[in-house]
Structure 1
Amino acid sequence: MKKLYLENLGCSKNQVDAETMLNLLAEDDYIRTDDPTEADVMLVNTCGFIESAREQSIESFFSLHETNPQAKILLTGCMAQRYAQDLSEELLEASAIFGNRDLSKIREVVDRVVNGERVVETYAYPPVKEEVYERNELLSFPGSAYLKISEGCNHRCSYCAIPLIRGSLRSRPMEMILEDARRLLDRGIRELNLIAQDLAAFGTDTGDGSSQFMELLKRLVALEGNFVLRLLYIHPDAFPPELPQFIVENPKVLPYFDIPFQHAATSVLRSMGRTGTKESYLALIESIRSTVPGAVIRSTILLGYPGEDAQAFAELQDFLKKAQLDWMGSFLYSREEGTKAFGLRGEKDHDKAHTVAAKYQKKLEALQQPITVSRLEQFVGKEYDVLIEEKIQEEDLAIGRIYSQAPEVDGLTVVMGRDLVPGSVVRCGIRAVKGLDLEAVVLERVDG
């Protein structure tokens, strides 16, 4: 048996790719190890979205190579796809550079590397009906899995390199998604997290160009089993107006809305290529909350975009005060070659703006934290199902999540109780807010 070490970086879509590659390599008798010193082959599944993510990918590569210089080490994923030739020339230590479009080729590439060849390949996408998504080992915590419904994006936001990396929108055939969901449910998954660059865009690249997302949701909620669906990433300018009422009528879909507004100043939004306004986004939030009891709204904010001045930032602050988002994440603008925004300012001006944006980011975090804490207070004194993720060793404690907490990005729920099994669901009473987390006590076992 050959040993394989995987370092997976980046977003949940990258994770699905990593799980797919693990499954393919397992067919060639590669067994994953958590110890890089034992590995015969190492994969660094890179992120290439912004500069800081690429830096992390390179750091991980060199750290692993230093840890085990005898192993064959491959760069895979988004950065490998976008910068294959540059990486090939600059990282001579890399045994292979492998993109992220035809994952089925990973077995062939690894075989060639093991046989002494240095490989640089960024294959084209195969026909959508031939793409592979079978997964055996999941990298999520027990009970939860990501379900990718499409690849790429057609929105072409001016700051975003995703279309350069993953191409235009490619919706998976609906029957393939449903079969993927059935396989996950059959193995005991209780939370399916639907992911794409924009869920609502699903199907707009086929047929008459209209979205098929709501039809997909109807088909998914009709599947048998005790499970919930979490919807991640819905573009605010393409938000399906019928979605909130659908969620009210279909409790399998969690009342959790991940809507990346990115900004609120009209001048910035227009330059980004977005059609919304602060007022339309506030109206969307109000519409969701007035329709869906207990609705939780998460968003992402981009700071430092060209043209963001003090007035634009003041508008953004006003938006956040009025929006009262449950969760808010932020990141700093990265000047990406090939995007429309790249030429809006030079490198020197970008560096200056980056420094200002970092200060803005701290101000936003200080503004948002008490809002999040206040929003969390609504859960205290009530009962919720908690998906247990981790057992705390030698203590009657476990870490889990209620419906308002998405994997990895939101706070957690600390559960007091005995014999709590990761992957199981327990009914809990929420006792307190601790920082950005919740504290709960077990009331009854739902399953497991």
Structure 2
Amino acid sequence: MIQKNTIIKGAFILTLAGFATRFMGFFYRIFLSRTFGEESVGLYQLAFPVYALCFSICAAGIETAIARSTAASRSLKDPVRTKAGLYSGFTLAILLSFALMLFVQKEAAFLSLRFLGEPRCAPLLVILSLALPFSVMHSCIYGYYIGLKRTKIPAISQLLEQTVRVGAVIFLYYFFVNRSVRTGIALAAAGIVAGEASSALYCLGKLRKEQDMAAPGNVTLGAYKKGLGEILSLAVPLTGSRVLLNLLQSVEAVSIPLKLQAFGLSSGESLSTYGVLTGMALPCVLFPSAMTNSIATMMLPTVAEIQVSGSTSAMKKVIRKVFFCCFSLGLLFCLALVVTGNFIGRLLFHSAAAGHFIITLAWMCPFLYTNSCLLGILNGLGKTNMSFAINVTGLLLRIGSVFLLIPVFGIQGYLWGLLASQMAVFALCLAYLRFFFFTL
């Protein structure tokens, strides 16, 4: 009962914040598309994988490692270990973020031309790199509070980041327009910097008020070395997995506009199509997943605790309930989006293409919403390598559709690839979980 209440309470708080941020983000993307145009949104989306890759190197694995280390230290009532794990991981992540920030700023022109194939992305990369140190601070402290299962501060920081991001962009746009100054999509990149800075400062302020964590004192050098070793042992394989996944996602993102050109579209048309898909249709389909993502976040520490207790029956019961909840939610929103997709595309985005994309993507909702929780369960069981292998399988299917189907069928081929990849991940997760519990 305690585990159930913890999952429900934590997921509820994260879901409220997730829905609020996605609601703002939904209309924010409408503002971007109408203000700067579909092609500019496509440029912005094209530059983002570089930022995501840098973040993965700096903090993706370290955030999870801090969360797991904090959860373990909390169960053992060892505040010294908690402090050593947090501050050693935090220091490592910050150092990596500044190194990558300087690298991206120096090599922005090269990355945009050779890696992204679009020189106009260089200014966006320079601006986005400034957000790295702040996003890393936010991420590390976020992981600490998730490890404690105290989701209020992570939820507020998430909401604050989105509010400041959207508010800063809208304010700056009208500020410059009233002074007849021409602006561009670079304002969206500046908004990310403002949002991450605000959430980082908020999290740092809350951490300073923690009695046990306000300062890194009272911890010996040996404890820090041990804490760093624990963080590295968890973070290195996780970071390697995340970086490889992000590299594959970057290849996918960069290749879609190029293969659309091979299909016969112009450079501008391919970027516009990519912008409609990733900046309009996908956010609409992903909007309800705030709930399932919150459940997946809480499942990782919860499953780990149940596994330690050795209660197989309790584990199966939790997994069945979570599976039924997520799959039912996916079916509900699948039907809703199929019926209203064209209406949403015309009303909100003024785009018939967006409506068509939404209807096609709606069919993957039952699998998409369930997969996040199934992968969270695998990670909670410590099966991170299997989770990584399943993710890679899904990505390879998507990349295969980019190179094989888009040149023949256009963007429709990629939509088919997205659906196939989600179905494959769904089937592999269920098959492995069934095998895992059968062999217990």
Do the two structures share a fold, i.e. TM-score over 0.5?
no
RCO greater where, 1 or 2, for CA within 8 Å and sep 6 or more?
2
> TM-score with structure 2 length normalisation?
0.28
- What's the TM-score, normalizing by structure 1? 0.28
Please identify which structure carries the higher strand content: 1
